[in-house]
Structure 1
Amino acid sequence: MATAAAGNSLDEARMASATELLRAIGEGASEVGAVLIHSEGKNFCTGGNVKAFGSAEDPGAFVTDLATTFHEFILAVTRAPVPVVAAVSGWAAGAGMSIALACDIVVGGPGTKLRPAYPSIGFSPDGGMSWSLPRIIGPARARDLLLTDGVLEGEEAARLGALTRFVADEDVLAEAREIAGRLAKGPTGSLGRIKRLAHESAGRDLPAQLAEEARSIGECAASPAGREGVRAFAERRAADYSGTW
């Protein structure tokens, strides 16, 4: 999604390509058990290409089109039926922060820095930041951070839940790879249902969520992965989910 040569600012072509890859997983066209998002260079993603914003003939239309493409990618991340793991080293600013907040598991370290960055150029957020951040760190803290363009250092970001795993800086990518690899070997259908239940819970009351949980766990029990998991438990062995869903 971003290129190191451009300071890891958002790259529209790469973003569109990543969106299509994620959609292919959802359509069953790709046998992928987990997705890892990371960057080259010292920063995760420093946001959009501000120079391009300034040079556009119609900045409003240009940024709206870019945000629309970006939002398709964010939706693909959240709708992917597999866990999406982010290795966030260095700065995750603007759109980079939005990407990190959209992922299921976010690994960072002491050198990780999250910053909204939008007020610094007179913009409001995109990439779902105004939706995800209040749900992760709380509405009041989110308003404070967004309005003041504050910086969440790695340790505080972990304490507030914006980072879900906190390791040494040099271990960020290795930790994220290990998690993604382990999840990829797990019960893919079950993990996808867990992700969907968690995402959709905010829009349901408890009775509706309980009904959806009952439907989902029944589907898991009837699936090859569910049957293998139950057999493995009864036989006191590690489950082998290869070739199951």
Structure 2
Amino acid sequence: MPEDVRYELDGHVGIVTIARPQVHNALRRKTYDELAELVQTSTARVLVITGEGRSFCSGDDVRELMNGGEENSAPRPAPRLTPAAGALLQTNIPVIAAVNGPAVGWGMEMALMADLRVAARRAKFGELFVKRGLCSDVAGIARLAQLVGRERAAELLFTGEVIDAERAERIGLVGRVVDDEQLMPAALQLARKIAANPPLAVAALKSGLREALDPDWSELGRWVSTRLGELFRTEDHREGVKSFLEKREPNYVGR
């Protein structure tokens, strides 16, 4: 049984909840695995992804996935699109992100991998990878620029700035912002409206959008994982993680 991700079926709508509120829904390997499996095996016509508590997802669990800023000599897998990203980007089920709070790091990536984004007013968005000496995943490289344009995407990626829901709506990062208590009703209303349509036609439309607009996700995934493999070995990455854990300003040295 999944421990980190909860799944409920409401008619034809599947609700996927990242359920690690004690760490702001940070993602560990188990979370990624459960998320990929739930998306790949879902029989729903529409998926709504949200987070338990007041956070959507705070990104990777730094202590586990980034080894607390210490060097990690464990062998890395061959460059590839990660299974969780592949599941979200390649499914023909429409995905709605109901962003209930901060969505940063891979939390923002997960929101970007959705087809539609509904945000609570307390939501925040940030591509924080640069602050850890890393590059973003595939959605930050490709999908973000589709939504907000290259210049705004570059600013968010290069600065690691965190923006609020109202600004996210103004620049086109999210489709709508609602009062916090109206988030799930609004997301579910949208999901049910889509689910009421012929599912084969909806799946074909999603597949067509991917053909028309998206890059080769597998190729981009290999590029990203290769760059991350290099960046994980840098002093700046270790400093980015350690300064975060020690709650101090970082000192980057460019190596």
Question: Fold match, TM over 0.5?
Answer: yes
**Length-normalised TM-score, structure 1:** 0.72
Write the distance in 2 (CA, Å) between the matches of 1:199 and 1:178.
24
Would you say how many aligned residue pairs link Structure 1 and Structure 2? 196
Which one of the candidate residues 38, 47, 67 is aligned to 1:54?
A: 67
1:10 aligned residue (23, 27, 40): 27
Contact conserved, 1:99 with 1:127, CA < 8 A, in 2? no
Distance in 1 between residues matched to 2:148 and 2:73, nearest whole Å: 30
1:24 aligned onto 2:41: yes
Secondary structure of the corresponding residue to residue 118 of structure 2: strand
Tell me whether 1:42 sits opposite 2:46 in the alignment. Answer: no
Structure 1: gaps spanning 5 or more residues: 205-245
Measure how far apart 1:104 and its partner are.
0.8
Code of the aligned partner of 1:156: R
> Which structure has more RCO (C-alpha within 8 Å, separation ≥ 6)?
2
Q: Deviations over 1:77-132 (max 9, x none)?
A: 12222211111011000000000001011100321110011122222112531111
Displacement after TM superposition at 1:38 (Å): 0.8
The answer to whether the Cα contact below 8 Å between 1:42 and 1:90 also exists between their aligned partners in 2 is yes
TM-score, normalised relative to structure 2? 0.70
1:136 deviation in Å? 1.1
Which is helix-richer, 1 or 2? 1
TM superposition shift of 1:17: 2.1
The residue number in structure 1 matching 2:196 is 185
Among candidates 74, 87, 107, match of residue 85 of structure 2: 74
Q: Secondary structure at the match of 2:98?
A: strand
Q: Partner residue of 2:209?
A: 198
Deviation of the 1:11 alpha carbon: 3.0
Identity %: 27
Residues 154-233 of structure 1: pairs in structure 2 closer than 5 A? 154-202=165-213
Deviations 1:161-209 (A, max 9, x none): 21112211221122112222332232111111111111211269xxxxx
Distance 1:60 1:100, change over 3 A: farther
Q: Summarize the Cα distance change of 1:118–1:60 in structure 2 as closer, same or farther, 3 Å threshold.
A: farther
Task: Establish whether residue 122 from structure 1 lines up as the match of residue 139 from structure 2.
Answer: no
1:140 aligns with 2:157: no
For 2:214 and 2:183, locate their aligned partners in 1 and report how far apart those are by CA, in whole Å.
Answer: 33
Aligned to 1:223: none
Question: How far 1:152 sits from its partner (Å)?
Answer: 2.2
Q: Kindly indicate whether the alpha-carbon contact (under 8 Å) linking 2:24 and 2:56 is maintained by their aligned counterparts in 1.
A: no
Alignment gaps of 5+ in structure 2: 6-17, 216-255
CA distance in structure 2 between the aligned counterparts of 1:88 and 1:81, rounded to whole angstroms:
21
Give SS of 2:128's match: coil
